[in-house]
Structure 1
Amino acid sequence: MDGVLGMSFSALSTTGAVPVFERAYKLGLVDPVFTVYMKSAGHHAENVFGGVFTYGGLDTENCDEKVVYENLTVATYWQFRLVGFTVAGYTVKTGWEVISDTGSSFISAPYYIVADIARLLKATVVNIVITMGIDKKSFKCIKYRKQ
Structure 2
Amino acid sequence: MKLLWTLILLGLTSAAPTKKIIQNTIGSIPGLYVVNVTIGTPNQQFLVQLDTYNNGLFVQDKSCGYCNHTFDSSKSSTYKFLNQNTSLGGNNYIIGQDIINLGLSPNLLPIPNTIIEQDAMPLYYADGLLGLGLQHDGGFGFIGNNLPILVNAYNQGVVDQPIYTIYLRKNIQNGDAGVITYGGVDSINCGSVIAYQPLAKYDDYVIAFSGISYGSYANSSTYTTLVDSTSVSIGGPPSVIANMAKVVGAIPDEGYLFYQVDCDKKIPSFTFTIGGKQYTVDSNQQLGPKNATSNMCPFAKSYCNIYDPGNKRLGFALPKGQ
TM-score by length of 1: 0.68
Does residue 132 of structure 2 align to residue 7 of structure 1? Answer: yes
Q: Which runs of 4+ in 1 moved over 4 A?
A: 85-91
Contact 2:245 2:259 in 1 (8 A): no
Q: Deviations over 1:43-64 (max 9, x none)?
A: xx8x422112222322233334
Over 3 Å counting, the alpha-carbon distance change for 1:113 and 1:32 in structure 2 is: same
1:57 maps to 2:184: yes
Structure 1 residues 142 and 128: alpha-carbon distance in aligned structure 2, compared to 1, 3 A threshold: farther
Indicate how the Cα distance of structure 1 residues 54 and 128 shifts in structure 2: closer, same or farther if over 3 A, else same.
farther
One-letter code aligned to 1:72: L
Equivalent pair of 2:168/2:178 in contact (CA under 8 Å): yes
Range moving further from structure 2, 50-59 or 84-93: 84-93
Give the corresponding residue for 1:125.
Answer: 251
The equivalent position to 1:37 in structure 2, one of 164, 167, 171, is: 167
TM-score, normalised relative to structure 2: 0.35
1:50 maps to amino acid: A
Q: Which residue of 2 aligns with 1:78?
A: 205
- Unpaired segments ≥5 residues, structure 2: 1-34, 36-46, 51-129, 264-322
* Cα distance in structure 2, aligned partners of 1:24 and 1:109: 34
Give the Cα separation in 2 of the matches to 1:146 and 1:19. 41
- Is the 1:128–1:143 contact (alpha carbons within 8 Å) kept by the matching residues of 2? no
In structure 2, distance between residues paired with 1:54 and 1:89: 38
- Which structure is richer in relative contact order (CA contacts within 8 A, separation 6 or more)? 2
Gaps of 5+ in 1: 130-139
Local SS of the residue matching 2:197? coil
Identity between Structure 1 and Structure 2 (%): 22
Contact 1:10 1:76 in 2 (8 A): yes
Contact kept, 8 Å, 2:210 with 2:223, in 1: the verdict is: yes
Q: CA deviation at 1:115?
A: 3.1
Structure 1 residue 85 displacement after superposition: 4.4
Q: Deviations over 1:20-74 (max 9, x none)?
A: 22322332324133322122446xx8x4221122223222333342421111111
Where does residue 23 of structure 1 map in the other structure? 152
**8 Å Cα contact 1:31/1:56 also seen in 2:** yes
Shift of 1:119: 4.4
8 Å contact kept, 1:6–1:103 = no
Q: Looking at CA atoms only, which structure, 1 or 2, has the larger radius of gyration?
A: 2
User: Are 1:141 and 2:141 counterparts?
Assistant: no
- Choose between structure 1 and 2: higher strand proportion: 2
Aligned mate of 2:230, from 76, 98, 103: 103
- Name the count of aligned residue pairs: 133
